[in-house]
Structure 1
Amino acid sequence: MMKAALAGLAMVAGMPALHAETLYVSNERGNSISVIDAASMTPLATWPVGGRPRGITLSLDGKYILLCASSDHAVQLIDRATGKIIADLPSGQDPEQFFLSRDGRTLFVANEDDAALTAIDLESRTVAFQVDVGKEPEGVAQSPDGRWVVVTSEEDNVVNWIDLTTRMMVDATETDQRPRHVEFTADGTQLWIAAEIGGTVQIADPHTRKITAAIRFAIAGVQDHLILPCGIRFTPDGKTAIVALGRANHIALVDVATRTVRAYVPVGKRVWHVAISADGTRAYAANGLSDSVSIVDLASAKVVGTVPVGAGPWGIAVAP
């Protein structure tokens, strides 16, 4: 009996801590990054950064944070260990969002003022190429097969398709009003598009580059004009899409196979973007007008914690 108990304790001791992750939150109005311990749901630090920080992600090796400092017209490279800005990378005017290439070598940046996609070579820290796209580009994604980079154009109501073999824009898919974010499914067969003012998430077939379906949202007690889809993330198993619904102050949990909403979860005010824990059990929601991050248990579809951050949280990166 004692041996079994000791063996059980040894197994527990050897297991990784649940949700032992660190969250990095870009605070658009605070010109800062908030650092959060996800396990204890407590803030650890606040780092000053460039003006109007928005898009945020980690380098492939996990050593650096990449951040769109929109007002500074730069992508900032930040040492994750110290919080210090290592370099301002050339990125074009008013970088909004970006997507780190599958091999981690290139950062694809949407530049709103330039109406362009800028590709930054991270090894040389120089611009590799730039492609003109529609007006007010924001959302960016690369297809899993590496062929396409897609960029939303909020003003033109299109998704621009850039063929990376030729580095040319070859098509534009019309969408509902003001597409803000794009996300490919892991198998590359679907592109999900959040149309903010249209109030929908549309789904495009990358082979035909045509819209094939649309998901609409209805929340009891919430007026339709407040339902403004923004960020989208898929759980690691690909079964659930988490959609931030803006001024509706909710996130939607959408079944990917049936394209139906499984649950609506009330979070903070003006939820901009979301992130998912590595084990797929939690969602993290950046609440732009509540200055907080909501931590959501996806199995129960309930908020299990709320963490204060800086002013205007916009994006979230999750690190082990």
Structure 2
Amino acid sequence: MKKFTDNLLLYIKGLAMGAADVVPGVSGGTIAFVTGIYIELINTIKSVNLRALQTLKSEGIGAAWRFINGRFIVILLAGIFTSLFSLAQFMQYLLVEHPLPLWSFFTGLIVGSVIYLLRQNPLRSTHENLLFFVGIGIAYGISISPPVVLEGTAVTMFLAGSIALCAMILPGISGSFILVLLGLYPVFIGAIANLQIDILTAFALGGIVGLMLFSRLLSWLLARFETLVIATMCGFLMGSLSIIWPWKLVTSSMTTDSGKVLVLSTDNLMPSEFLGLTGGDPQTFLCTVMFVFALSAVMGLDYFAKSKLESTQ
């Protein structure tokens, strides 16, 4: 029964990661981090290597399956893909019809997660405090960086795939947002719509290479400097609040070949400024409710986890 429950919880975490990846500015890596599977995810990605093939050849399928943590990755991917295919339209509907409450929910989720993580991993040393603020600075700097426009060649898409996939496994940094900053998001969306195999292949290969290399670096850092890495990632999460802040004024945008309007840059507003500058209802009460609900949900999970731990001791 416990194994079934563990598998179900892992599947639900995959669902949450998939739902987050649908939302521009939110990273599946963020969900992995706040749900406590981040380190296992990084180590699992790292384990898919030549040694896994050697294990398959010398010891058989069972040994290779255990070596790459097959149960974990299959259940997690099942949740992610289920979410991508089943929740994508619903999330897109919320983004279009109810963006302010949705972003408020994610803001509460991030704030609650940072509080939870810092309770579990207090910033005790000067280095940890310094890296926490460095993480905030990096994520905030990325959020206000002006987009550039690169030509969508195979080489640039390979590099973009490497960078975007690395960003996707970092908490607080969205792969799709990185593509926007590189000016390649319309190229990527157009390649999917028009089935441009050369562009998609270059992007996929770049993503695989970037993911394999970066997961090894992260695994090495986590094994040796776990508290420092977690402090930095908590900073990333705090800095990402600038990206997902609900009340924004669009300062520049472009229309893709498919007719989709792509926002390139925004300014954050206070709810009191939102009505005057955009003409839209700031929905302050509903946004506050969604923020408090998400924050309370994370705090509730923290309380539940502590109660469960105490009951087993």
TM-score range, shorter chain: under 0.3
Q: Which has a greater percent of strand?
A: 1
- Please state which structure has a larger fraction of its residues in helix: 2
Task: Name the TM-score, length of structure 2 as normaliser.
Answer: 0.25
> Larger radius of gyration, structure 1 or 2?
2
- For CA contacts below 8 A with separation 6 or more, give which structure has more relative contact order: 2
Superposition TM-score, scaled by structure 1 size: 0.25
